[in-house]
Amino acid sequence: MEDLAKVLGKQRKIVLARELTKLYEEFWRGTVGQAIIHYQTNQPRGEFTLIIAGAEPDTPVISEDTIKVELQKLLEQGISRSQASRQLAHQTNLSRRQIYQIALKI
């Protein structure tokens, strides 16, 4: 668990499944940090299966003002609103339609 905490961080969600398909089957859910604390006081016994949640996406929040500035730069270069919206959507992973609606306000 300590190695998991170093690599994935203590806040990563996990499930520890113990003794699957057996009489004493049980599931423990929490974070890596909580698992470390839990299993320091509760000796782990038996066979375990570890399920690790995927990483949260690192999508920065982009303000509408920032989008307007970037759109304005592209429009000044002679790029159409539609093409500028496509280009920004690709760069920011935002919806092209959402960006195009902002472009119409400029």
pLDDT tens digits, one per residue of 5-23: 999 999 999 999 999 999 9
User: What's the CA gap between 4 and 33, in Å, rounded?
Assistant: 9
Q: How far is CA 99 from CA 63, 82, 87, 93, in A?
A: 11, 9, 10, 10
| Residues 68 and 38 occupy one common structural domain | no
pLDDT of residue 91: 87
Reported as a single tens digit per residue, the pLDDT across 40-81 is: 999 999 999 999 999 877 666 788 899 999 999 999 999 999
Q: How many secondary structure helices (H) and strands (E) does the chain include?
A: 5, 3
**Predicted TM-score of the model (pTM):** 0.54
- What is the count of structural domains for the chain? 2
- 68 and 45 inside one domain: no
Domain carrying residue 100: 64-105
**Is 93 strand, coil or helix?**
coil
- If phi over 0 gives left and psi between -120 and 50 gives alpha, with beta otherwise, what is residue 59? beta
In a domain, 39, yes or no: yes
